[in-house]
Amino acid sequence: MNNTLDRLETTLRVKGGAQLEGSVAAHGAKNSALPIMAASLLAKGKVTLHRVPRITDVSVMWSLLEALGARLRYEGDGTVTIDSSNVASHRAPYTLVRKLAASFDLVGPLLARFGRAEVPLPGGCVLGTRATDMHEQAFRALGADVKNAHGYLIATAKRKRLRGADIELRMPSVGATKNAMLAAVSAEGTTTIRNAAMEPEVGDLVNFLNMMGAKIEGAGTETVVIEGGAELHGAEYSIISDRIVAGTLLLCGATTRGDVTVTNCKPEHQRSLLDKLTECGIDTTTGVDWVRVKADNVTGGTDILTAPYPGFPTDLQPQVVAF
């Protein structure tokens, strides 16, 4: 899968000083697309995904799934089909996984499908050490032996299938919540995840899994309950908009004191940002699937403390500092 960045030169030159005005559409959420692509490994049948962003991370996940034996096809306009029926390997290639932190989302589906997963420890953007202890805690609770060897995390089910468990995360980790759900959907019995991440992308993954036949409740709350054991089938699903991209575009308008409307987005996912922009005197307007910022009368600054959703997202901190 080719992406936009492949066609760019290594140096970008930006000429500033102009107010940004107009309307722009947000693309699908990267942090939904990647785990949902990984979750397609659980389906007995073809998966069709809409609003898949054409970005480097998606290209790496595409290559990972192909390396495992899946067949993928780009249908145009952000639509991707995935057929995982011929996947026969539980070992992800080191060279690809090291390029992408979200490739660790493969552990749960591979463990659920094969009873064993061998995935290199995650790479991608390194902001400090990426701990995997909460992922490992969840897999052990579900009945897997877990060890680290030669740069790989190796998880093996002690029995033929994983078993349901009560899992309490020490912090609401998005990655650990997703991996625990992906492993638990095929486990015997009920799994309860406490202190679960409440990010919209976690809810999007839940909605996709439920569309494939899973039984998961509690998305968007601190407690997620999974009734395991369901056989998952293929599905057609449209990925939610990327709230970080939408927020970045809105901040571009605010920073240049412009007038920008972002469409194809979910205004409720921008609430923490819009509240702060309003405190600065920026006029914000929302519709069903659009947000407008008009920044011709900025009155001052504000204080921001980043926090897990529904708090202010860490991924928007650099952009808001520029504002």
What's the CATH number where 34 sits? 3.65.10.10
Model confidence at 96, pLDDT cuts 50, 70, 90, reads confident
Mean pLDDT, the chain, rounded, equals 93
* Same-domain check for residues 14 and 148: no
Report pLDDT for 101: 80
- The tokens describing 96, both together, are 């690809």
Residue 24 has pLDDT above 90, yes or no: yes
Say whether both 76 and 120 belong to one domain: yes
What is the reported pTM?
0.93
Q: Are residues 117 and 211 in the same domain?
A: yes
- Residue 278 and residue 214 in one domain: no
* Final residue before a domain boundary, out of 188, 216, 238: 238
172 with 255, same domain: the answer is no
Structural domain including 99 reads 30-238
Residues 219 and 267 in one domain: no
Residue-wise pLDDT for 100-118, tens only, equals: 888 899 999 999 999 999 9
Q: In sequence order, what are the residues at sequence separation of 6 or more whose Cβ sits closer than 8 angstroms to the Cβ of residue 8?
A: none
Active-site option among 125, 252, 265, 280: 125
125 a catalytic residue: yes
pLDDT of 139 reads 98
The answer to whether residues 58 and 122 belong to one domain is yes
Answer yes or no: do 36 and 20 share one domain.
Answer: no
Percent of the chain scoring above 90 in pLDDT: 84
pLDDT score for 124: 42
Q: What per-residue confidence (pLDDT) applies to 164?
A: 98
Q: Which of 214, 238, 262 is the last residue of a domain?
A: 238
Tell me how many domains the chain contains.
Answer: 2
H-only helix segments in the chain: 30-39, 56-68, 94-97, 107-114, 133-141, 174-184, 200-211, 243-255, 271-279, 317-322
Q: Is the pLDDT of residue 8 over 60?
A: no
* Cα torsion 201, 242, 8, 125: sign: negative
- Residue 267's region, left for phi above 0, alpha for psi from -120 to 50, else beta, is alpha
pLDDT above 80: residue 274: yes
Question: Are residue 17 and residue 35 in the same domain, yes or no?
Answer: no
